[in-house]
Amino acid sequence: MIMIALILILMIGGILAWLLSAVNKNIPKWISLIALLTDLLIIVFFWSNNAGNISFAQNNRWLTEVQYEWIPQFGMSFHLAMDGISLVMTALTFFLGIASLLSSWKNVDKHTGFYHFNLLWLLAGITGVFLAMDLMLFYFFWEIMLVPMYFIMVIWGHENSKYAGWKFFLFTQISGLMMLLSIIALFVIHGNATQVYTFDYMALLGSLAGGPAAFWIMCGFLIAFFVKLPSIPFHSWLPDAYTESPVAGSVIVAALMSKTAAYGLIRFVIPLFPEAAQNFAIPGIILGVASILYGAKLSYGQLNLKRLISFSSVSHMGFILVGVFSFNTLAYQGVLMQMVAHGLSIAALFIMAEFVYDRTGKMDVNEMGGFWDAMPNMGGFTVVFIMASLGLPGLVNFVAEFLILAGAWQYDIVLAVLATLGLIVSVTYSMRILQKVFHQRNHTHSYSLHDISVREWVVMGSLTVAMLWLGFFPQSVIRIAKPAFEQMKMIQPENKEATREANPLQSSSIITFTAKKGGGL
Amino acid sequence: MSELPINAGLVLAALLFLTGLLGVLIRRNILFMLMSVEIMFNAAGLAFVLGGAKWGEADGQVMLIFILAMAAAEVSVGLALILQMHRLFKSVDSDVLSIMKD
Amino acid sequence: MVTQLWLIPAFPLAGFLILSLFGTRLPRKMVPLIGVGVVGVAALITIITGIDFLQHNTAGYFVEQHLWTWFSIGSFSPEMTLHLDALSLCFIFVITFVGFLIHLYSAEFMKDDKGYSRFFAYINLFIFSMLTLVLANDLLLLYLGWEGVGLCSFLLIGFWYNDSVDAEKNAYAARKSFLITRIGDTAMILGLFLLVKDFDTLNISTILNEAPNVWTANSSEAVWAAVLLLGGALGKSAQLPLQTWLPDAMAGPSPVSALIHAATMVTAGVYLLARTHVLFSLAPSIQLLVAIIGAATLFIASFSALAQHDIKRVLAYSTISQIGYMFLALGVGAWSAAIFHFMIHAFFKALLFLAAGAVILAVHHEHSMFKMGGLRKKLPVVFWTFLFGSAALASIPLVTAGFYSKDAILWYSFAGTNGSVWLWLTGIVAAFVTSLYTFRMVFLTFFGEEKTPTHYKPGLAIKIPLIVLGILSLVAGFIELPHNFGHFTPFSDFVSTTLPPVSLLANPAAGETVLQVLAGVLALVGVWLAWQLYIKKPEPLRQFKYGSGAGLFRFLHDGWKFDQLYDVVFVKPFVWLSKIDRRDFVDRIYGAVGFFNVAMNVVFSRTQNGKLRYYLLGIGIGAFIVLTIILAL
């Protein structure tokens, strides 16, 4: 029930915001804030209630689940379910939703009602994607995300936003249709084999592990997810979309929408096509590595602050690909952490860019510099965000990258080494952001700069706290997602970890040591 | 019943049709184009009648009546449109209407 | 008391948090009180802990404090656990004690800077990170401290970010240091991945205990683990081939150079190698490599120091060179000698930097030694302490601490089972050069005629650290006397509870006394030569420098042209690629698809001319073609 409430609150809030904007154009943003806060509170409450109930039993797969008939003739049902992964991602959605709303609190002055309608429906779509356990329902929410995003981008975006909007729409729509084809093909193949025609996730699990059909159907999913992630060579829509969007759009599309793709990879691609995915592992990791390195290189070359940040996202999402195709629990936990970590850090950077833009009206880094003088607080926060983006230990990104790469090392050493080079190149562009804006040649005299307001302090401060908290205590997320990943491990055809644990030499020696360690103190 | 030279009739119909088609393609006066369309209708009607006569069925005549009814309707609508056009553009030149392409 | 280990890093952390959150709103007098105070408290706790520790110190003794489990996945669960043994005690003592003195010094040195509270916030964070690094019981926690000190180093090198003249240079130095150390760090984290795979843990004690059972000596895993960890150490400790960042790092304020780029952070590599010494014992070839890298670095850096103008760059190269000695010691297995030299080096090098900072203040931020001179009378305290520090650096025999610590390294590199004559020879030649460049610096700065007038009078907060460190530079060596006289070795006895002793050849080719006399004489000759070349008869050298030797001086001044090499091989191509492909060629491909569609649109929209007759013609021709095809088939 709670899941339907989460989505409905957003949808109804959106409609209300639109309707009431006729009364006063400041009402919609308060409605959005209240709707999102309510959702966040619900999810936090739910989390704290369920934190103790996580168990590893197979019959207790979901924390909560609802299923209603939707179009039974075609085997579609309204099936929502939540496990640890979905819980973490929905919590992230509402948290970042609030952050993006507050960061653009004063910027939107035209069509406020329609703006907040789009914002809330967009978030509703994302929430739905994280919860849907029926493939058709998943696709439905997947498309719901698309349209409001397009409107936000085009109507409230920057100068070149029409071009960016069309590009975004074409890329995601075409790739989405490929996924639809795959979903239908899966439905038909499964139906022909079992005479049960259904789109239900649980029913389709394991129906098509390997073989050429599985490969091609998987490709449909992969293209949709690769485009949205994005991975090289499907990243071309990203810099335009991220750069031309208004700040809330940038934050949501970069921090949340790209996560739906990562989520899709671990929720659908790996479990539905375990063998085909295994066969695709090496190309997948190579794509990831290419994204990491090429994205970083592109990012370094940019002059526009938002483009710089956008390309860094390509680089960071490459880690997700590496992790997804490494097939071990370390890497999977790393992928989840990376989804959270990248969500927080990219949102933080875009918000920082927006605050700078608010004050200067410029995006060109060559016209910035020395801003620390005028805005020490923002500079301090930016140091944290930059350090998060380059993976400094103590911030959540480090945990994520460490887990992914340690997992990748166990799968393939050479590719892991190449991916790890990303840690070096990430320094180049991250330093560029920090130094070009806040250090170096002093440009402060050209603008009237003032340090961050209380509202901005709250946004940046809460992001910082979240990054630090998860950097030092990632266990809260790891623990809640553990059963879900245990489930994934079971369906894998060959289990590398099992063979490793079976190595008698290592396991026995570690046990003997723990016995010794006890007497140390 | 004397044998009707059916091939000669069909050739006549084809000639009539081509005359109509050429008229539509060549004439710029929209009134003449409408008349040429009428000629093409009649050519089709003639072909139907010939066919009906050949197989001794009533279908040909039925189709002809259909065509006549439709042609009448079409002419009335067409003439109304031409009148409207004449009022708006002060012309019956079909090429003038090309400004509507955008 | 000993069980509350966490208090030691907690105080600097608290200082950092207070200063960074409320620093600008605090009254200016409160800032040093907090900034210096927290480190002082940490130093006090360290001393109390140390006294307590000494009473229990037997072989294998350590104290551990488990704070929390960082995360736990399967059986891999890195923990936030602090671990104190003789080795880490040595380090935390130096970090907090020398750190405290430098903080005290900074309270006066930085007092007119507008980033006063920011400075103390950074430097407190540095102390916290460094303490985390050396107290970590888990390599992942160690890595946290390891990167943390890198961050602080970056922030402090670029501290004067909008200094109108040097802003670009400072920013460049800052990111260069971060990037190059990051290269080393990346090697190190790869090493961690390897260890995770083979041990399923990063707990240092576990790994050290298990490594000999899991890996055979010289197995490829052992070699790779050693190489990758060494990579990390090379970056942090500015050893060949990752040494180029340290001279540029001198862009930071002098106390920063003293604390981070001389006394503590740059020796983190030494700590890492000493801490994981078991892994290196399993890979003897890599251990030899450590010695060779150390020898090569100390040789190259000492010659570079000889050709510098900037007083701080001389000290920077001498730091690289002295750490080279530590690596040499590590490489020959003389673990305790390396740590001993680390400690003595921390005293005298911090002193030298602090004194140099005072000198630079006195001559109005002039760094070139050739524009100083004659400061002996004007700054007596600075002069005498600088002289003590220099004597220790040049290892003037018997009376300085540097002599005892460096002598041990030279002896072990000669007589140790892993040593060789060549390593020793490099070391002794560089020792001679060290003495030469050190006293070149002393003579140019404090002797000769006065070139820049000054009325600067250092205050108490600057004098006290100088005097304390000056005394330590002279007497700290007496806690570890060579075997052939006195045989008084409390220091190596102390660290022997953690680090294995060095194994010596049964009968080395020469006696210890001979070598000591030789080293002592060479050091004194170096001082004499410096006097001759720079004070007595400067003309011949000047002629050589600007005449036939100009190329050589240039080469040495640029640090053997490593910077230029890296610039051509790595930096230029990367920047060029970024520039040339700014618009992203992949986007061009999609752009081409779009362009093709638009072009087709132009072509086909020609056909839509709005003329009815043309459309009909089209229909007619189309119908004709279709009919023909149908009939023909």
Question: The whole model's pTM is what?
Answer: 0.86
Whole-number pLDDT of residue B46? 92
Whole-number pLDDT of residue C606? 82
Helices (H) and strands (E) in chain A, counts: 23, 2
Q: A302 CB near a chain C CB, below 8 Å?
A: yes
Q: C613 CB near a chain B CB, below 8 Å?
A: yes
The angle at the Cα of A503, spanning A499 to A505, to the nearest 5 degrees, equals 170
Share of chain B above pLDDT 70, in %: 94
pLDDT band at A511 (very low <50, low <70, confident <90, very high): very low
Whole-number pLDDT of residue A137? 92
**pLDDT tens track for A312-333:** 999 999 999 999 998 888 889 9
The C-alpha of B97 sits at a distance from chain C's nearest C-alpha, in angstroms, of: 7
Distances (CA, A) of C543 to C439, C539, C549: 20, 6, 8
- Could C617 and B25 be called an inter-chain contact, meaning their C-beta atoms sit closer than 8 Å? yes
| Of the listed ranges A331-335, C96-100, C235-239, C585-589, the one predicted with least confidence | C585-589
The answer to whether C34 and C122 have CB atoms below 8 angstroms apart is: no
| The two three-digit tokens of residue A185, written as one number | 């093909």
- Asked if the model's pLDDT at residue A505 lies above 60, the reply is no
pLDDT band at A175 (very low <50, low <70, confident <90, very high): very high
Whole-number pLDDT of residue C589? 87
| Of the listed ranges A77-86, A486-495, C194-203, C214-223, the one predicted with least confidence | A486-495
- Asked if the model's pLDDT at residue A519 lies above 60, the reply is no
Distances (CA, A) of C540 to C310, C433, C442, C443, C537: 22, 19, 20, 17, 7
- C312 CA to centre of own chain: 15
Chain B neighbours (≥3 Cβ pairs under 8 A) are: C
Whole-number pLDDT of residue B1? 46
Whole-number pLDDT of residue C542? 81
Q: Enter the ipTM.
A: 0.89
Whole-number pLDDT of residue C403? 87
| The two three-digit tokens of residue C6, written as one number | 């966490």
Residue numbers of C between 67 and 106 with CB closer than 8 Å to A: 68-76, 80
Phi-psi group of A361: left, alpha or beta (phi > 0 → left; psi -120 to 50 → alpha; rest → beta):
left
- Could B98 and C610 be called an inter-chain contact, meaning their C-beta atoms sit closer than 8 Å? yes
Q: C617 CB near a chain B CB, below 8 Å?
A: yes
Whole-number pLDDT of residue C200? 86
DSSP three-state, residue A82: strand
**pLDDT tens track for C241-255:** 888 888 888 888 888
pLDDT band at C14 (very low <50, low <70, confident <90, very high): very high
C243-C244-C245-C251 Cα dihedral, nearest 10 degrees: 130
Q: Which residues of C touch B25 (CB under 8 A)?
A: 613, 616-617, 620
Q: C571 CB near a chain A CB, below 8 Å?
A: no
- Could C613 and B28 be called an inter-chain contact, meaning their C-beta atoms sit closer than 8 Å? yes
pLDDT band at A501 (very low <50, low <70, confident <90, very high): very low
- Asked if the model's pLDDT at residue A243 lies above 50, the reply is yes
The C-alpha of B4 sits at a distance from chain C's nearest C-alpha, in angstroms, of: 26
**Which candidate from C73, C151, C186 shows the least CB-CB separation from A330?**
C73
**How far is Cα A362 from Cα A487, in angstroms, rounded to an integer?**
49
pLDDT band at C229 (very low <50, low <70, confident <90, very high): very high
Q: Which residues of B touch C610 (CB under 8 A)?
A: 95, 97-101
- Could B99 and C610 be called an inter-chain contact, meaning their C-beta atoms sit closer than 8 Å? yes
The answer to whether C586 and A235 have CB atoms below 8 angstroms apart is: yes
The answer to whether C530 and C439 have CB atoms below 8 angstroms apart is: yes
Whole-number pLDDT of residue A319? 93
Whole-number pLDDT of residue A487? 76
DSSP three-state, residue A199: coil
Tokens 């979901």 -> residue: A62
Q: C607 CB near a chain B CB, below 8 Å?
A: no
**pLDDT tens track for B58-97:** 888 999 999 999 999 999 999 999 999 899 888 888 888 7
| Of the listed ranges A495-509, C112-126, C198-212, C599-613, the one predicted with least confidence | A495-509
Nearest to C276 by CA among C333, C326, C226, C344: C226
Q: C502-506 contacts: CB < 8 A, separation 24 or more?
A: C502/C332, C502/C333, C502/C334, C502/C335, C502/C336, C502/C337, C502/C412, C502/C416, C503/C333, C503/C416, C503/C417, C504/C412, C504/C415, C504/C416, C504/C417, C505/C415, C505/C416, C505/C417, C505/C419
Distances (CA, A) of C159 to A372, A505, B46, C174, C362: 11, 51, 99, 9, 21
Chain C neighbours (≥3 Cβ pairs under 8 A) are: A, B
Whole-number pLDDT of residue A503? 40
Whole-number pLDDT of residue A493? 53
Whole-number pLDDT of residue C192? 92
DSSP conformation class of B97: G
Share of chain A above pLDDT 90, in %: 36
Whole-number pLDDT of residue A507? 38
pLDDT band at A60 (very low <50, low <70, confident <90, very high): low
- Could C205 and A517 be called an inter-chain contact, meaning their C-beta atoms sit closer than 8 Å? yes
**How far is Cα C307 from Cα C545, in angstroms, rounded to an integer?**
9
Whole-number pLDDT of residue A13? 92
The answer to whether A139 and A179 have CB atoms below 8 angstroms apart is: yes
C427-C430-C436-C441 Cα dihedral, nearest 10 degrees: -110
**How far is Cα C6 from Cα C111, in angstroms, rounded to an integer?**
31
Tokens 């980033």 -> residue: C115
Q: Which residue of C has its CA nearest to B100?
A: C610
Whole-number pLDDT of residue A514? 38
DSSP three-state, residue C334: coil
**Which candidate from C80, C189, C205 shows the least CB-CB separation from A420?**
C189
| The two three-digit tokens of residue C581, written as one number | 């492909």
Per-chain mean pLDDT for chain A: 85
Q: Which residue of C has its CA nearest to B101?
A: C610
Q: Which residues of A touch C168 (CB under 8 A)?
A: 440-441
Whole-number pLDDT of residue B4? 64
Average pLDDT over residues A253-278: 89
Whole-number pLDDT of residue A209? 63
**Which candidate from B21, B28, B100 shows the least CB-CB separation from C620?**
B21
Whole-number pLDDT of residue C3? 63
Q: Which residues of C touch B94 (CB under 8 A)?
A: 611-613
Average pLDDT over residues A238-260: 89
Residue C580 CB-density burial (10 A; 0-12 exposed, 13-18 middle, 19+ buried): exposed
Whole-number pLDDT of residue B2? 54
Whole-number pLDDT of residue C588? 86
DSSP conformation class of C25: G
The DSSP secondary structure of A374-410, one letter per residue, reads T-HHHHHHHHHHHHHHTT-TTSHHHHHHHHHHHHHHH
Contact present, B and A (at least 3 Cβ pairs less than 8 Å): no
- Asked if the model's pLDDT at residue A368 lies above 90, the reply is no
| The two three-digit tokens of residue A278, written as one number | 């295994």
**pLDDT tens track for A180-213:** 999 999 888 888 888 888 888 888 887 776 678 8
